[in-house]
Amino acid sequence: MNSNHVKKIGLLIGREWDWPSAFMKTINEQTANITAELVKLGGTNLEESCPYDLIIDRMSHHIPYYRAYVQQAALQGCTIINNPFTWSADNKFLGNSLAYRLGMATPRTVVLPNKYVQKDVVPDSFRNLVYPMDWQGIIDYVGVPAIFKDIHSGGRRAVYRVHSVDELLDRYDETGTRTMILQQIIESDFHVHCFVIGQEKVLPLRYSRENGRYLPETLSESAPLYREITANALKLTQIYGYDINMVEFVIKDNTPYVINSTNPAPVIDLSLMTQEQFDWCVQETVSLAIARTERPLPANPFNLDPLT
């Protein structure tokens, strides 16, 4: 950990630049005792100390080495946003199961066996797996058209619409080792994405699929729908303990359906949102990072004293 008076925030990012550059500029200009920079890695050994007091991780879900690094940094007492141990266990089926158990409206969803597994297995390894699969029963439960998508990936990667058992099987045969879910399509009036920062602040934005960006108009804070959406987004985020999260809803007949309970690295970019919406995300993440750097929450994953 950094023992100097000046505390350090590190960012783990991918190709995004609007939010990281604005975040680092604001931190470095606004605070005298905290600096922000990009984390630089080139192989990490067991004895290597983490120079950061806090790391905002927006890329380790794509790069396993980054995930290993932030887990080791957490052992040393570095605050990681978001918790890499929780994030490693997270998936879309778990999120929908949680929302369902909490009484929130959710699409009908089925998680499917892997087409292949990257393990040394034999036929007897699959004694618990029913064969042949009741594909027609699965389709009958979910309904068609349905969304067929990866249980882990965000965005629109590995996402397909299927309209029949034959089409589902064709797509299933292409999945390789990915774990897939089949989900009911809610023909929605509109989408709402709720950005939740610090497990307290919520910004619900209407998303236009046609334009691929957020609409400038916001929901009225006095509307019952606004209160229900923000309350559900907060509850889901607080259960996970994520400090940065995005919960995705579709609205049908004035009922909000949770279609994604978690997105621990939501895109914050001027190509998607207005300047006002972007500035809100920057300022709230800056305030969060400063608060967590100056007053870290107790979050050591194995109840160990921070290693120094």
Give the model's pLDDT for residue 269: 97
Average pLDDT over residues 67-71: 97
CA distance 72 to 300: 11
Looking at the fold, whether 5 and 84 belong to one and the same domain comes out as yes
Q: Given a cut of 70, is residue 2 above it in pLDDT? A: no
Q: Flag whether 102 is in a domain.
A: no
Polymer length in residues for the chain? 308
Q: Are the CB atoms for 73 and 50 separated by under 8 Å?
A: yes
**Strand ranges across the sheet with 109-111:** 109-111, 180-184, 146-150, 159-162
Q: Chain-wide mean pLDDT for the chain?
A: 92
CA distance 74 to 10: 13
Give the model's pLDDT for residue 301: 61
CA distance 180 to 249: 20
Looking at the fold, whether 138 and 125 belong to one and the same domain comes out as yes
Range of the domain at 64: 1-88+274-308
pTM: 0.92
Proportion of the chain above pLDDT 90, given as a percent: 81
Looking at the fold, whether 154 and 225 belong to one and the same domain comes out as no
Average pLDDT over residues 84-100: 96
Q: Flag whether 4 is in a domain.
A: yes
Task: Note the pLDDT tens digit of each residue in 196-234.
Answer: 999 999 999 999 988 999 999 888 788 889 999 999 999
Residue 300 pLDDT level (bands cut at 50, 70, 90):
low
Looking at the fold, whether 253 and 290 belong to one and the same domain comes out as no
Looking at the fold, whether 175 and 192 belong to one and the same domain comes out as no
Q: Are the CB atoms for 191 and 258 separated by under 8 Å?
A: no
Number of domains in the chain: 3
Determine phi and psi for 39, rounding to 5 degrees.
-70, 135
Q: HSE of 169 in the Cβ direction (CA atoms, 13 Å)?
A: 8
Give the model's pLDDT for residue 219: 81
Task: Note the pLDDT tens digit of each residue in 4-50.
Answer: 579 999 999 999 999 999 999 999 998 889 999 999 999 999 999 99
Looking at the fold, whether 204 and 215 belong to one and the same domain comes out as yes
